[in-house]
């Protein structure tokens, strides 16, 4: 080390340092595209697809390959949908299903999060139930419906059990994957800063696992929604009220194709809508804060 009043370190490094910082700092990116153009760019392609699908459908119907009760005209289905929407019935179906799905999903999150944490951090538990969790994730939850009906009858319990069995594995697995992907240097950095197990989980583990956890939540939502529909289609009863699944099954029972297609459209619409309105923005915020997620 040179004496304090000699050598390179007394040469004012400010200018050099400032220059380096200016040169080396990542470019924050070109100016943002205007909002209307972003919306146009994301909304127009799916709209084009929709128009094409309806066009082909209309053409097939006009060619009359299939009888009307198998393939109704787009306008007939549109009429059915419009009637249900304006009468407020559709809103009722949607509310019945969505409130079940949201409630079930939240219960699923509350159960799956501690499971995921323990599986990720305790080696024995991971060895014991890790494979089971992955296996359950690939089991279609409709397979649980007969068992649940025999156990609990055609009751709300059955519906929630099927929903939870569908969503918990994927949420827990998402959290495990999120924790596994944490660069090991971060927990070490936390440890040398004096973070114990609890402070480490709160300040480092959970925020670091957040992107993976969110991906798990998103998938968990999709699984909740699917499981709920499976349960509602199979386990129908007047006591349960009419959700979208029951509405769909009703259409099958009445051999009413416009109802069936309307129900499918609504189910799709809700599933995609929640993903776009809730999970996509959440993911965007979380990833952008970490300098990730250029694709979103």
Partner 1 sequence: MTAILEPETQSTVEHAVRLSGVRKAFGTGARSVVALDGVDLAVEPGEFVCLLGASGCGKTTLLNLVAGLDAVSGGEIELNTARPAVMFQEAALMPWLTASRNVELPLRIAGVKRADRRRRTAELLDLVRLGEVGDKRPHELSGGMRQRVALARALASAVHGAGGGKQALLLMDEPFSALDAITRDVLQAELLRVWRTTGTAVLFVTHDVREAVRLGQRVVLLSSRPGRVVQEWQVDRLSAAGEAKTVDEINGRLREVISSHAAA
Of residues 154 and 282, the one with the C-beta less far from partner 1: 282
CB of 47 to partner 1, least distance (A): 34
* Among the residue ranges 30-38, 63-71, 206-214, 264-272, the one whose residues contact partner 1 (CB under 8 A): 206-214
Nearest 5°: the CA angle 105, 110, 113 is 110
Angle at 138 between CA 159 and CA 208, to 5 degrees: 95
- For the chain, strand residue ranges (E) read none
Closer by beta carbon to partner 1, 169 or else 212 = 212
Cβ proximity to partner 1, 10 vs 58, nearer residue:
10
Dist. CA 34–CA 24, nearest whole Å: 28
Q: Token digits for 26?
A: 């990542």
CB of 19 to partner 1, least distance (A): 9
Please identify, using beta-carbon distances, which residue of 24 and 239 lies nearer to partner 1: 24
Q: Which is nearer to partner 1, 2 or 238 (CB)?
A: 2
Identify which of residues 87 and 181 has a Cβ nearer to partner 1 in the complex: 181
Closest CA to 266 of 105, 123, 125, 94: 94
Name the token pair of 121: 């951090």
d(CA 207, CA 209): 5
Site for partner 1 (CB under 8 A): which residue of 99, 123, 197, 203? 203
The distance of closest approach from Cβ of residue 196 to partner 1 in the complex, given in angstroms and rounded to an integer, is 9
Shorter beta-carbon distance to partner 1: residue 12 or 239: 12
CB atoms near residue 186 (< 10 Å): 14
Nearest distance from residue 116's CB to partner 1, in Å? 19
Of 71, 204, 222, 261, the residue at the interface with partner 1 (CB under 8 A) is 204
Please report, in angstroms and rounded to a whole number, the separation of the first and last CA atoms in the chain. 50
Beta carbon of residue 296, minimum distance to partner 1 (angstroms, whole number): 15
- With tokens 């595209």, the residue in question is 33
Query: How many Å is the Cα radius of gyration of the chain?
Result: 26
Per CB under 8 A, contacts with partner 1 among 163-202 are 185-186, 188-195, 199
Rounded to 5°, the CA angle 86-90-92 comes to 115
Q: Tell me the C-alpha to C-alpha distance, in Å, between residue 246 and each of 126, 253, 256.
A: 38, 10, 14
Cα–Cα distance for residue pair 134/223, rounded to 1 Å: 14
140 contributes a contact to partner 1 by CB under 8 A: no
Residues 2-61 within binding reach of partner 1 (CB under 8 A): 2-4, 6-9, 11, 13-14, 16-17, 20-21, 23-26, 28
**Which residue, 92 or 207, has its beta carbon nearer to partner 1?**
207
Compute how many residues bind partner 1; rule: CB under 8 A. Answer: 40
Minimum Å gap between C-beta 25 and partner 1 is 5
SS3 content of the chain, % helix, strand, coil (to 5): 80, 0, 20
Residues that bind partner 1 (CB under 8 A): 1-4, 6-9, 11, 13-14, 16-17, 20-21, 23-26, 28, 185-186, 188-195, 199, 203-204, 207-208, 210, 286, 289-291
């Amino acid at each position: 080390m040179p004496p304090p009043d000699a050598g390179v370190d007394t040469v004012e490094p400010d200018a050099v340092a400032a220059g380096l910082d200016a040169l080396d700092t990542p470019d924050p990116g070109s100016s943002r595209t205007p909002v209307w153009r972003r919306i146009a760019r994301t909304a127009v392609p799916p709209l084009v697809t929709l128009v094409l699908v309806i066009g082909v459908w209309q053409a097939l119907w006009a060619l009359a390959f299939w009888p009307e009760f198998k393939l109704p005209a787009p306008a007939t289905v549109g009429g059915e949908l419009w009637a249900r929407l304006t009468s407020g019935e559709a809103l009722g179906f949607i509310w019945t299903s969505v409130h079940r799905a949201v409630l079930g999903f939240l219960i699923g999150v509350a159960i799956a999060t501690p499971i995921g944490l323990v599986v990720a951090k305790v080696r024995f538990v991971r060895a014991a139930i890790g494979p089971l969790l992955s296996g359950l994730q690939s089991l279609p939850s409709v397979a649980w419906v007969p068992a649940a009906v025999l156990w609990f009858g055609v009751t709300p319990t059955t519906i929630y059990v099927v929903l939870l069995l569908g969503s918990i594995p994927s949420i827990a697995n998402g959290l495990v994957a999120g924790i596994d992907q944490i660069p090991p240097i971060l927990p070490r950095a936390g440890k040398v800063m004096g973070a114990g197990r609890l402070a480490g989980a709160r300040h480092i583990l959970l925020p670091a696992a957040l992107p993976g956890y969110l991906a798990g939540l998103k998938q968990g939502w999709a699984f909740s929604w699917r499981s709920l529909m499976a349960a509602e289609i199979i386990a129908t009863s007047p006591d349960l009220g009419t959700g979208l699944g029951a509405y769909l099954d009703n259409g099958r029972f009445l051999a009413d194709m416009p109802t069936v297609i309307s129900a499918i459209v609504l189910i799709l619409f809700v599933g995609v809508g929640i993903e776009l309105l809730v999970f996509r923005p959440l993911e965007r915020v979380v990833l952008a804060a970490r300098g990730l997620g250029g694709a979103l």
